[in-house]
């Protein structure tokens, strides 16, 4: 738990929370005093971590049971939004009034607790001493030499957790005195740790690093599935009970996982080894040299995420051994990483900073809009489904726009369908707590779909140049010429999306910058330059501006480079070419005249006439008449 949340919970002192109607002050229906009034707490949306915090605040050890009690009639209750508390909001802002007949019952362990752990079933063991004298009670750590596996089994059972999996000193931080002074001697069958026999002699010292750290397995199971890793999820809180569909995806696990990341879809890759031997299974990191892009595609698909976007060693922290020892050789079509072929040889070493770090894109999209940055929000969790559109704000929608690389959200609305449809409901207070959209979805039915518009919704404009000499050149060619003192036109256009808007032509040269603006007519605008000069040489771009949804959108075209050519050198080249052709033509004429009657010359002369190389038509006719007269003679 972070420091801010701990401070908030300390403010919520035992003067404002209590358990009533149970066997002790650490058992019963949870009541909270808010705005000067004590009321029971509504059960809905409560999670086990909230119960852990309440037990700690009441000095009642660890939470061992959270359940709901149904009353015969509705009454005025407080609803505590615990995700709101986790997001950093003040407690008073996370309590609302409502009517309900479902009340929250809570049982705390009273005399034992695990602190500084990653869950309610892990942490450093502390025992409450002086049980008979409440005013002199205190929590004491236990020395590792006074605690064994049988003691751990009793403690895990007392806390409502699974069997002990790790028992190691200083695993969850070292502690100064006080220390528990007697050795526990449990037989393993006791229901509570303080029911066990204890040694007669007291321990006065405990070596550093010897405070008991304990990890119990979580009391969860999957039943009625094809294997122990599939089926209906059940959690033990007193009794085994199925979990409703509001359970978040972050708590689920496969044979692969990404750890130390910012979401379910990012982190350091770990693979569970020894799948066939449950007692010897362990999580192993993968060496970057044994993993490639096709392998990453399989992992991202297996986790229900989008395509891999980043694959880099040590991106999410380095790790010591164990390491996965074989190279994955996925084809890219497999449904799970462990379905892929692997190399026959094993890897014994892996260079430092080579543990695979992987980031998969979030499986979200906007469909049915003018671009990929506008439309109906859909999330993929197995199937693509729309999202329920009630009570979203621009703040929550920003998360979607960022995931899609579409800027920020500028419009949130809902679209009503004619019939009830299966969709995802996203709890945005869950998103505010730092979870991703995919981790905060639950299955629901509704008529209302969420529509979003992000700031980068516009398509890219097209820029082109038109001149009388060179025709039209589009920006894809990157460069276009213009003849000096001749006219040219820059054309800005965009595919039809929205009516109206305006185009801003931006021109940048080596020493100046200019902007010209025109309204968009039929989704285009023409910028005429009557006489091209060297000062017009530079880079041009079209920026389309549109005001919609109470926001101004902008989209910029590619750059088009205009080069202004001086016509004088071109004219001189043309004159030289014409003179050269004339000289050649005259020379051929006199040559052919000197060789009258020869067929090759006749053919050449005919060809020259055909290509209009400048021989006067009258002279050619006269020549033909003379040749005809000679033939008659």
Tell me the per-residue pLDDT of 467-491, one tens digit each, with 9 for 90 and over.
Answer: 766 555 544 447 788 888 888 999 9
Of all residues in the chain, what percent carry a pLDDT higher than 90?
8
Minimum mean pLDDT range among 69-73, 154-158, 625-629: 625-629
pLDDT-derived band at 632 (thresholds 50, 70, 90) equals very low
* pLDDT tens-place string over residues 194-213: 889 888 777 767 777 788 88
User: What's the whole-number mean pLDDT along residues 562-568?
Assistant: 83
Q: What angle do CA 517, 523, 528 make, to 5 degrees?
A: 45
591: part of which helix (H) or strand (E)?
Answer: helix 567-594
Q: Minimal CA–CA distance to 318: which of 271, 373, 356?
A: 356
pLDDT of 406 higher than 70: yes
Residue 559 backbone dihedrals phi, psi, to 5 degrees: -80, 140
pLDDT of 87 reads: 63
How far apart are alpha carbons 251 and 249 in whole angstroms? 5
Owner of token pair 């919609």: 548
Where is pLDDT greater, at 488 or 278? 488
How far apart are alpha carbons 81 and 502 in whole angstroms? 47
pLDDT-derived band at 606 (thresholds 50, 70, 90) equals very low
pLDDT of 280 reads: 59
pLDDT of 534 higher than 60: yes
Minimum mean pLDDT range among 48-57, 96-105, 148-157, 185-194: 48-57
* pLDDT tens-place string over residues 538-549: 999 999 998 887
How far apart are alpha carbons 595 and 581 in whole angstroms? 21
pLDDT of 468 reads: 65
> Tokens for 342?
């692997």
pLDDT of 7 reads: 38
pLDDT of 20 higher than 50: yes
What is the sign of the dihedral through the CA atoms of 218, 224, 228 and 231? Answer: negative
pLDDT of 307 reads: 78
pLDDT of 11 higher than 60: no
pLDDT of 140 reads: 85
Of all residues in the chain, what percent carry a pLDDT higher than 70?
73
pLDDT-derived band at 4 (thresholds 50, 70, 90) equals very low
* pLDDT tens-place string over residues 225-236: 665 555 666 666
pLDDT of 228 reads: 57
Q: Minimal CA–CA distance to 201: which of 214, 188, 179, 182?
A: 182
On whether the CB atoms of residues 302 and 256 are closer than 8 A, the answer is yes
Q: Minimal CA–CA distance to 271: which of 224, 220, 336?
A: 336
The answer for residues whose C-beta is within 8 angstroms of residue 240's C-beta and 6 or more apart is 221, 234
The conformation of residue 370, written as its DSSP 8-state character, comes to S
Owner of token pair 């480079």: 561
Q: Where are the beta strands (DSSP E) in 41-173?
A: 63-80, 95-108, 112-115, 122-129, 138-141, 164-169
pLDDT of 159 reads: 85
pLDDT of 443 higher than 90: no
User: What's the whole-number mean pLDDT along residues 431-447?
Assistant: 74
The neighbouring-strand residues paired with 561 are 479, 539
pLDDT of 123 higher than 70: yes
Set out the domains of the chain in order of their start, with CATH numbers.
3-110 (3.10.250.10), 120-126+136-216 (3.10.250.10), 249-360 (3.10.250.10), 364-454 (3.10.250.10), 462-565 (2.60.40.10), 570-632 (no CATH)
Cα dihedral: 197, 202, 206, 210 (round 10): 0
Q: Name the average pLDDT for the chain.
A: 77
> Tokens for 519?
């309204």
How far apart are alpha carbons 621 and 617 in whole angstroms? 6
User: What's the whole-number mean pLDDT along residues 163-180?
Assistant: 68
Where is pLDDT greater, at 419 or 92? 419
Where is pLDDT greater, at 90 or 587? 587
pLDDT of 506 higher than 90: yes
pLDDT of 274 reads: 62
What sections of 262-376 are H helices per DSSP? 293-302
Dmax over CA atoms of the chain, in Å, equals 155
pLDDT of 319 higher than 50: yes
pLDDT of 81 reads: 73
């Amino acid at each position: 738990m972070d420091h801010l949340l701990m401070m908030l919970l300390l403010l919520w002192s035992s003067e404002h929370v209590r358990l009533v109607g149970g066997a002790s002050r650490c058992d019963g229906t949870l009541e909270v005093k808010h705005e000067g009034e004590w009321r029971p707490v509504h059960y809905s949306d409560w999670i086990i971590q909230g119960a852990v915090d309440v037990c700690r605040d009441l000095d009642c050890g660890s939470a061992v049971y959270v359940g709901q009690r149904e009353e015969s009639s509705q009454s005025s209750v407080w609803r505590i939004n615990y995700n709101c508390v986790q997001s950093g909001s003040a407690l008073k802002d996370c309590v609302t009034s409502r009517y309900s007949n479902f009340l929250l019952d809570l049982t705390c362990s009273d005399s034992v607790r695990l602190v500084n752990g990653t869950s309610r079933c892990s942490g450093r063991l502390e025992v409450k001493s002086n049980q008979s004298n409440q005013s002199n009670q205190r929590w004491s750590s236990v020395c590792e030499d006074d605690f064994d596996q049988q003691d751990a089994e009793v403690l895990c059972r007392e806390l409502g957790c699974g069997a002990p999996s790790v028992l190691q000193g200083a695993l969850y931080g070292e502690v100064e005195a006080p220390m528990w002074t007697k050795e526990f001697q449990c037989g393993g069958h006791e229901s509570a740790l303080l029911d066990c026999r204890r040694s007669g002699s007291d321990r006065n010292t405990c070596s550093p690093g010897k405070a008991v750290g304990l990890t119990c397995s979580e009391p969860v199971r999957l039943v009625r599935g094809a294997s122990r890793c599939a089926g209906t999820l059940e959690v033990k809180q007193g009794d085994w009970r199925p979990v409703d569909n509001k359970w978040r995806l972050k708590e689920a696990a496969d044979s692969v996982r990404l750890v130390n990341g910012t979401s379910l879809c990012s982190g350091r890759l770990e693979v569970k080894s020894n799948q066939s031997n449950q007692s010897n299974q362990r999580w192993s990191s993968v060496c970057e040299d044994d993993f490639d892009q096709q392998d990453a595609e399989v992992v991202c698909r297996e986790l229900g995420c989008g395509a891999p976007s980043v694959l880099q060693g040590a991106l999410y922290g380095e790790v010591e051994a164990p390491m996965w020892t074989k190279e994955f050789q996925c084809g890219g079509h497999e449904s799970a990483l462990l379905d892929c072929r692997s190399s026959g040889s094993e890897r014994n070493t892996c260079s430092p900073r080579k543990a695979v770090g992987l980031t998969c894109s979030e499986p979200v999209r906007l469909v049915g809009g003018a671009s990929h940055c506008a439309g109906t929000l859909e999330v993929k969790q197995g199937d693509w489904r729309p999202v329920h559109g009630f009570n979203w704000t621009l703040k929550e929608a920003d998360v979607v726009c960022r995931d899609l690389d579409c800027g920020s959200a500028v419009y949130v609305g809902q679209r009503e369908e004619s019939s009830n449809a299966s969709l995802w409901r996203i709890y945005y207070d869950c998103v505010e707590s730092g979870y991703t959209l995919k981790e905060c979805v639950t299955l629901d039915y509704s008529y209302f779909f969420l529509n979003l518009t992000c700031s980068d919704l516009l398509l890219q404009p097209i820029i082109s140049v038109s001149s009388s000499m060179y025709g039209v050149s589009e920006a894809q060619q990157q460069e276009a010429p213009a003849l000096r003192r001749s006219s040219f036109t820059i054309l800005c256009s965009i595919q039809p999306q929205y009516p109206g808007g305006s185009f801003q032509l931006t021109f940048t040269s080596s020493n100046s910058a200019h902007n010209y603006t025109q309204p968009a007519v039929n989704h285009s605008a023409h910028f005429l330059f009557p006489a091209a000069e060297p000062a017009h040489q530079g880079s041009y771009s079209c920026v389309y501006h549109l005001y919609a949804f109470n926001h101004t959108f902008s989209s910029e075209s590619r750059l088009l480079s205009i080069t202004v050519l001086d016509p004088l050198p071109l004219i001189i080249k043309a004159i030289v070419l014409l003179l050269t052709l004339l000289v050649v033509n005259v020379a051929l004429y006199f040559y052919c005249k000197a060789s009258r009657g020869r067929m090759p010359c006749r053919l050449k002369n005919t060809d020259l006439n055909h290509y209009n190389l400048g021989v006067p038509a009258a002279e050619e006719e006269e020549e033909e008449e003379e040749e005809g007269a000679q033939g008659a003679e």
